[in-house]
Amino acid sequence: MRVHVVQGEHFITDNPDAVLTTLLGSCVAACIRDPVAGVGGMNHFLLPGGHSPGVDRAAQRYGVHAMELLVNALLSSGARRERLEAKLFGGARLIDGLTDIGSQNADFALRFLAAEGIAHVGGSLRGEHGRKIQFWPVSGRARQSLMERESAQVFDVEKRIRPAAPPAEAGAVELF
């Protein structure tokens, strides 16, 4: 069973044959499991925090909401907080010169685990490459493939102002 987890989603399972997958750039995915209960899951979030307390779709893009949803779903399925272990992936800086949201996502995820007392047992954060992630939630096995970084080129475009055209004669057609 293969389940692809997209931005703003989470998925948990106790199926030993399940593999959860996702594609990450600056986003982060937390892969969390309870090895004793045999249940685990993955989330995928876009931004570290949010001000939207609701359970709407937009709120799920935020790390604080996504992490709470995943942890609570695991606890509801028999996991115990003190046995949870997490692997974190993503948080890349894909475009130079812009705010490093990937690093902010990585920092948030690490702080969240520490604050909640969840063991951070591995993963791969930051860097300059997107990632393809596979996670087997019951065994805790994870596989990462780095994606090739396309060279981000920034072009300086000068806005050239052409002189105003002389007024057209009546009936004339201007082609541009």
Cite the active site residues.
27
Q: In what helix (H) or strand (E) does residue 63 lie, and over which residues does it extend?
A: helix 63-76
Q: In 3D, which of 22, 35, 36, 47 has the Cα closest to residue 100?
A: 47
Residue 58 tokens, joined: 């937009």
Number of Cβ within a 10 Å radius of residue 57: 10
The span from the CA of 160 to the CA of 94, in Å, is 30
The answer to whether 19 and 4 are in contact (CB under 8 A) is no
